[in-house]
Amino acid sequence: MKLLVAGVSIFLCLSTLAQAGGAPPPRLPSPEGQQQQQSLPETTAEPAGEQEMFMMPSGNIGCVYTPAGGTAVYRPADGGPELACDIVSPRYVRATLGRAGAATLDHAVGDPSCCSADTVLDYGQGWEQGPFSCVSERTGLSCRRDDGHSFLLSRAQVSAD
């Protein structure tokens, strides 16, 4: 009986370690400002540049723009460009616009790391980079891609299309 319990315990430990290795690492800087390294697939393409970050004056919404080709520490699944914005309250949600397709909402963010950008997008200001543009308003942040797909993040509403 002891041998069976020991065998089951070892199996569970090994399977837990195998599952933990598949979790993606964070793509945003940690609160201390240090980025964690992510293993990237072998590729001959050089990273396109650096991520650009901004946040709303309230500190409740923060965004990260990743250029096409990604960076030295992060490459979007579709190759980019990518715009990902997080809202903290009333519930943590990440909205993402990739290179193509509808915007997505992630209600179970595995690497919550919002909001600590040096650049603040004041109310009434706009932001543009690549195919993306955003408008900061007291009621929230709306962002869209050139083809019309968009998302809205506010305390009253979170939506994506």
What is the per-residue pLDDT for 32? 41
In a domain, 8, yes or no: no
Residue ranges of E strands in the chain: 52-55, 61-66, 82-87, 93-97, 104-106, 126-129, 132-137, 140-145, 150-153, 158-160
Interval 115-155: pLDDT, tens = 889 999 999 999 999 999 999 999 999 999 999 999 999 99
Total structural domains within the chain: 1
In a domain, 45, yes or no: no
Neighbouring C-alpha atoms within 13 Å toward the C-beta of 63: 33
pLDDT, greater one: 160 or 1: 160
| Structural domain containing residue 105 | 52-160
pTM of the model: 0.71
In a domain, 10, yes or no: no
**pLDDT band at residue 98 using 50, 70 and 90 as cut-offs:** very high
In a domain, 125, yes or no: yes
What mean pLDDT do residues 39-46 have?
47
